[in-house]
Amino acid sequence: MDKLHVDRVTFGASSHDIIKAMNKPGEWPALRGHLDALLDLTLDKPHWYMAMELRQCNTGANEIAKSVITGLR
């Protein structure tokens, strides 16, 4: 999204924890390594948001995520 110069983006997450960690990274030290790149990317993007989305509502992304994990990719 950054390279395409898209200014307003809403990302969907199927976990409340990742949303909480993005908003208060200091309270989630175990996830800090995963969050650093995302936090750096979103630092100067005031219109980039993370919203809760049930897995059932985005089956395409869920299937891709499962294939990455189970396929050791």
pLDDT in tens, 15-31: 888 888 888 888 988 88
Q: Has residue 4 been placed in a domain?
A: no
**Does residue 2 form part of some domain?**
no
Average pLDDT score over residue span 29-56: 84
CA 16 to each of CA 1, 12, 39: distance values in angstroms, whole numbers, following the listed order: 22, 10, 17
| Rounded Cα distance, 65 and 27, in Å | 26
pLDDT averaged over every residue in the chain: 84
Q: What is the reported pLDDT for 73?
A: 61
Helices 32-42 + 16-23 axis angle, to 10: 60
Instruction: Name the residue among 28, 30, 55, 25 with its Cα closest to residue 42.
Output: 25
Residues of the domain holding 37? 9-70
How many domains does the chain contain in total?
1
